[in-house]
Amino acid sequence: MIALDNWLIALASIALSPFLLVVLLIMVLASTGCSLGIREKYVQVLLAIFEWGRIRIEKSETESGRNSVDGDLEREDGGEGDFPLTPNSSSANLLARQMEAHSHYDSAVDGSGRKSIRSGFTLSDAYDYCKWGMEAITEDQVTKSFEAEEINSWNLLTRTNMNYHYISVRLTIVWCLGFLFRYFILMPFRLLITVIGVLWLTTCMAFTGYLPNGPLKRRVNQYVNLMCFRIVSRGFSAIIRFHDPQNKAKEGGICVANHTTPIDVIILSVDNCYNLIGQRHHGFLGFLQRALSRAANHIWFERSETKDRMAVSQRLKDHVTVPHNLPVLVFPEGTCINNTTVMMFKKGCFEVDCPIYPVAIKYDPRFGDAFWNSSEQSMVQYLLMMMTSWAIVCDVWYLPPMRRKEGEDAAMFAARVKNEIANKGGLVELDWDGQLKRQNVKVEWKQIQQKIFSERIKFE
């Protein structure tokens, strides 16, 4: 019996040795910011498999006599590595409806700019609003912004399929192999790397927190941040392409970005160091927040406490005036949006008199959906979904710093920055508040629509 146990221990050691060596190699490369190019080759192989699957699906659909699913399986324009930057069909419909609404209102003005008064109200005046109302019920763009993004082609993931893996035997075999690869090879590696990365992050932050304030602490904190976040980013096979690094946020400024997922912080912290500002969380996120706060001056607040938020605004203003303070990373939308749209930016950080460094983040949904629907998923469920995806691939664009213009209020400045981010990231720009994810429409918004309708009745 003892001999058998020794044999089992020896076999386990032999089997685990390559696994641990690979994990160690990944961590060493990540901590130094180096790469062997394996992840990029891996993504290219995935694209080839997706293309083969698309051809198989189209062929099976044609042979079975069903209509082709060209709209859903249309190949992306551009070469390998190009990211789709055009809005989906629902976004295009929204833009069309907005243009139609403006054209109706503009038609009430003649060529000289004068408005002609109508003789009275007719029932047909409400037809367009009834039409828009029914369209909003069946295809509400605000609600769609808080749902998983629709992809143009099937990526062999169960949660985004339409039973395509049952179309042919070959496709079924490939899907099964992909499932086994993601859950029994990728996930154990990623889970171990993430656990080690988080523990290492906690330990390093605790050590840094004991150092006296000064240049040494700042240098150590910068090195530790970059090293730890690079290790954690390998926990979901992140492939990040940074553009225009000369525009990176600098000390004494505020960096603002569109918000898709909590890992936005990790994505940006791979290339630069920030102080964070955001809602105080519990559970796993709360644990990370407390660990990070040991080494830097991060700002956490409760969304429901108005007085606390006013104090946060003052702390933000004080922060940017202190020399050598890291730039503050802010997500002005206040909630996660599904990688297709940019919603209204809160004006708080735009009231501060300092440079604003806009950043646009666009994820490639073909390899995994990065959006976190906090209303339906816990943080643990979300992390499990990330670790069982093929990879997290994204582009990050650093935009030139911006300042508020003379005569421009904070809300106008926020809208201008949001427009720049939306244009650069190929995202649809919406004026709605992201808090509609949790709250009802404000009375003021209803009154604006009522005013527009009354003007339309009054003038033709």
User: Do 308 and 264 touch, CB atoms closer than 8 A?
Assistant: no
Q: Is the pLDDT of residue 419 over 90?
A: yes
Name, in order, each residue with C-beta under 8 angstroms of 419's C-beta and a sequence gap of 6 or more: 429
What was the pLDDT predicted at 416?
Answer: 94
**More confidently predicted of 93 and 391:** 391
Report which of 288, 264, 293, 292 is spatially closest to residue 194, judged by C-alpha positions: 288
Mean pLDDT of 188-206: 89
Model confidence pLDDT, tens digit, residues 438-456: 666 677 767 777 777 777 6
Percent of the chain with pLDDT over 90: 25
What are φ and ψ of residue 324, in 5° steps?
Answer: 70, 5
Would you place residue 68 in the very low, low, confident or very high pLDDT band (cuts 50, 70, 90)? very low
Mean pLDDT of the chain: 78
In this structure, is the dihedral angle defined by the CA atoms of residues 114, 120, 122 and 128, taken in order, positive or negative? positive
Mean pLDDT of 189-207: 89
**More confidently predicted of 347 and 1:** 347
Amino acid at residue number 74? E
Q: Is the pLDDT of residue 99 over 50?
A: no
Name which of 64-68, 313-317, 365-369 the model is least confident about: 64-68
Mean pLDDT of 233-238: 89
Q: Is the pLDDT of residue 344 over 70?
A: yes
Max CA pair span of the chain: 102
Name, in order, each residue with C-beta under 8 angstroms of 197's C-beta and a sequence gap of 6 or more: 27, 228, 231, 232, 234, 235
Q: Is the pLDDT of residue 194 over 80?
A: yes
Amino acid at residue number 438? R
Domain ranges across the chain:
160-429
Q: Please give the C-alpha separations between residue 19 and each of 24, 145, 190, 281, in angstroms, as whole numbers.
A: 9, 40, 12, 34
User: Do 312 and 328 touch, CB atoms closer than 8 A?
Assistant: no
**More confidently predicted of 313 and 354:** 354
**More confidently predicted of 173 and 284:** 173
Residue 236 and residue 246: Cα distance in Å, rounded? 27
Find which of 102-111, 159-168, 260-269, 442-451 is predicted with most confidence, using mean pLDDT. Answer: 260-269
Q: Is the pLDDT of residue 391 over 80?
A: yes
Percent of the chain with pLDDT over 70: 74
What was the pLDDT predicted at 395?
Answer: 95
What was the pLDDT predicted at 44?
Answer: 92
Mean pLDDT of 303-314: 68
**More confidently predicted of 82 and 146:** 146
What was the pLDDT predicted at 162?
Answer: 62
Mean pLDDT of 49-55: 89
Residue 159 and residue 369: Cα distance in Å, rounded? 10
Model confidence pLDDT, tens digit, residues 244-262: 999 999 988 999 999 999 8
Find which of 31-35, 157-161, 315-319 is predicted with most confidence, using mean pLDDT. Answer: 315-319
Model confidence pLDDT, tens digit, residues 260-289: 998 999 999 999 999 988 777 777 778 888
Q: Is the pLDDT of residue 102 over 50?
A: no
Report which of 247, 241, 232 is spatially closest to residue 420, judged by C-alpha positions: 247
Residue linked to tokens 């050691």: 13
Mean pLDDT of 335-347: 89
In this structure, is the dihedral angle defined by the CA atoms of residues 323, 327, 331 and 334, taken in order, positive or negative? negative
**More confidently predicted of 8 and 313:** 313
**What number of other Cβ atoms are within 10 A of residue 424's Cβ?**
21
User: Do 39 and 394 touch, CB atoms closer than 8 A?
Assistant: no
DSSP state letter for 435 = G
What was the pLDDT predicted at 182?
Answer: 93
Q: Please give the C-alpha separations between residue 204 and each of 20, 30, 208, 267, 375, in angstroms, as whole numbers.
A: 22, 16, 6, 19, 32
Angle at 349 between CA 343 and CA 355, to 5 degrees: 110
What was the pLDDT predicted at 443?
Answer: 75
